[in-house]
């Protein structure tokens, strides 16, 4: 099974490629980047260690490499310029992403392939990819809060001084400031977190703030997240390749669950061959559900602004022409939401479903021990 990483020469893309190599599931890894020399270097570096890991074909290719890919991962993104507004950065990344998506389609993106969006703003770009890729909506998945959830669990474990793999918790909503901690899902060793010795409201608030600002902290410390985002991407990709059907907090098109429509946002999603196989509506507390709906309104406001600009035509939305090195790495910290319209997500009659109706599962059971993948 072949995985192509667009932006594979950057920090995020190269770490994703390395994580996929260590996972030993993908048989063929393709590194695609605007900077062809860097792409060749990343591929060669990975290949030189292959004899100690697994028998995989690892190559640097141009965009034509997506034509025979089972999964295409897009990590390319632009960094914020001095004095640049958040909306301007969003618009530049939208233009770059749509140019890359158009190139991938022109190169022969297969209708049975899967598109994993990592570039930020990931939820907005996932929504645009659903509308413009030509793929069934299930085959377009944004990394969403998969990375945030991994960080969340690790930070809880560090605070409680327990093994990290014993912590199960969940973040839903936007990959950004409006993300929502689902405390009702959190467990340690199968026991409810709120019953754990030493855990209290202050610990919860501090842990969530640490998680929410983790991306910005990684940028200030070392230029961006690498290892954690790499293994988070691998979890999604390998669940597709192996048809593992893990329940992951990834960004997909919503068509009714949690009263959310026509927005891509992270909810518990069964990921396997074909992409998003099911979406689950869990029994949330009223505070959690309100938070999730607010997160969707924030995203819908940003999408409305982006789509209004794109509707004005090429003059208003000309594809960016970045320097090759700048286009090779996705900024991991999602930009803080711009001032967004808080208009409610439209009623069912306003939704724009793509492809067949989703498999949606509502349950009154609070899935505290869900199958988290990070």
Q: How many CA atoms lie within 13 A of 303 on its CB side?
A: 26
Q: What six digits make up the tokens of 106?
A: 């022109």
SS3 state of residue 183: helix
CB-CB contact of 225 with 208 (8 Å): no
SS3 state of residue 260: coil
Q: How many CA atoms lie within 13 A of 346 on its CB side?
A: 12
Q: Please choose, from the candidates 209, 232, 205, 206, the residue with its C-alpha nearest in 3D space to the C-alpha of residue 332.
A: 232
Euclidean distance between CA atoms 366 and 285, whole angstroms? 10
Q: What six digits make up the tokens of 218?
A: 């990684």
Q: Which residue has the tokens 């950004």?
A: 176
Q: Please choose, from the candidates 228, 264, 218, 217, the residue with its C-alpha nearest in 3D space to the C-alpha of residue 148.
A: 228
Element (H, E) at 157: helix 146-160
Residue 175 appears among annotated catalytic residues:
yes
Handedness of CA 266, 267, 269, 275 (dihedral sign): negative
Q: What is the 3-state secondary structure (H, E, C) of 22-78?
A: HHCCCCEEEEECCCHHHHHHHHHHHHHCHHHCCCCEEEECCHHHHHHCCEEEECCCC
SS3 state of residue 279: strand
| Active-site residue identified among 114, 127, 155, 175 | 175
Q: How far is CA 232 from the centre of its chain?
A: 9
Cα–Cα separations (whole angstroms), residue 228 to 11, 332, 351: 11, 10, 35
Q: Which residue has the tokens 């019953």?
A: 195
Q: What is the 3-state secondary structure (H, E, C) of 137-155?
A: HHHEEECCCHHHHHHHHHH
For the annotated catalytic residues, the residue numbers are 175
């Amino acid at each position: 099974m072949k995985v192509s990483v667009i932006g594979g020469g950057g920090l995020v893309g190269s770490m994703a490629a390395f994580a996929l190599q260590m996972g030993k599931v993908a048989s063929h890894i393709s590194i695609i980047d605007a900077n062809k020399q860097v792409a060749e270097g990343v591929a060669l570096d990975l290949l030189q260690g292959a004899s100690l890991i697994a028998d995989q074909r690892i190559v640097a290719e141009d965009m034509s490499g997506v034509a025979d890919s089972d999964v295409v991962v897009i990590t390319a993104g632009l960094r914020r310029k001095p004095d640049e507004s958040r909306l301007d950065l969003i618009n530049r990344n939208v233009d770059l992403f749509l140019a890359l998506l158009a190139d991938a389609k022109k190169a022969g993106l297969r209708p049975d392939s899967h598109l994993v969006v990592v570039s930020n703003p990931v939820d907005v770009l996932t929504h645009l990819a659903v509308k413009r890729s030509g793929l069934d909506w299930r085959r377009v998945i944004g990394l969403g809060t998969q990375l945030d959830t991994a960080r969340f669990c690790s930070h809880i474990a560090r605070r409680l001084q327990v093994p990290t793999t014993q912590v199960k918790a969940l973040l839903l909503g936007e990959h950004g400031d409006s993300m929502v901690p689902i405390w009702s899902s959190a467990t340690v060793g199968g026991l409810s977190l709120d019953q754990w010795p030493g855990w209290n409201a202050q610990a919860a608030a501090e842990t969530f703030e640490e998680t929410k600002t983790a991306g910005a902290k990684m940028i200030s410390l070392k230029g961006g997240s690498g290892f954690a985002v790499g293994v988070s991407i691998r979890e999604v990709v390998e669940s597709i390749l192996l048809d593992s059907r893990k329940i992951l907090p990834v960004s997909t098109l919503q068509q009714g669950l949690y009263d959310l429509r026509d927005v891509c946002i992270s909810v518990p999603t069964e990921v396997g061959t074909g992409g998003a196989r099911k979406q689950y509506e869990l029994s949330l507390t009223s505070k959690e559900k309100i938070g999730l709906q607010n997160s969707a309104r924030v995203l819908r406001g940003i999408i409305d602004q982006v789509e209004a600009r794109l509707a004005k035509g090429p003059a208003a939305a000309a594809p960016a022409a970045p320097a090759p090195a700048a286009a090779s790495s996705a900024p991991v910290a999602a930009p803080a939401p711009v001032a967004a319209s808080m208009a409610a997500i439209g009623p069912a009659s306003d939704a724009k479903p793509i492809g067949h109706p989703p498999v949606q599962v509502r349950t009154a059971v609070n899935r505290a021990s869900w199958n988290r993948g990070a």
